[in-house]
Amino acid sequence: MQYFGVFAYYHRHVVSSEAFSRVDTYVYEQLWRFLRRRHSNKSKGWLVKKYWTKAGRKWIFSTITKDNGKPRLFQVVKVGSIGIKRHIKIKADANPYMPEYSRYFWNRRHNKGARLMRELSARAMRATA
In this structure, the answer to whether residues 58 and 41 fall within a common structural domain is yes
Query: CA dist 19 to 14, 26, 82, 92, Å?
Result: 10, 10, 12, 30
**Which pTM was predicted?**
0.61
Q: Which domain holds residue 71?
A: 1-87
- Crossing angle of helices 2-11/17-38, nearest 10°? 170
Same domain, 127 and 98: yes
Query: Total structural domains in the chain?
Result: 2
Residues 76 and 98 in one domain: no
Asked if residue 56 and residue 25 are part of one domain, the reply reads yes
* 8 A C-beta contact, residue 78 and residue 23: no
Are 8 and 25 within one domain? yes
Question: Are residue 52 and residue 39 in the same domain, yes or no?
Answer: yes
Are residues 96 and 74 part of one domain? Answer: no
Report how far residue 44's alpha carbon sits from residue 33's, in angstroms, rounded to the nearest whole number. 11
Q: What pLDDT score does 42 carry?
A: 95
- Where b means 16+ CB within 10 Å and e means fewer, 67-84 reads eeeeeeeeebbbbbebee
Both 79 and 93 in one domain: the answer is no
Q: Running along the chain, 129 residues long, what does each successive block of 10 average in pLDDT? A: 68 78 88 94 92 81 83 80 77 86 82 69 60
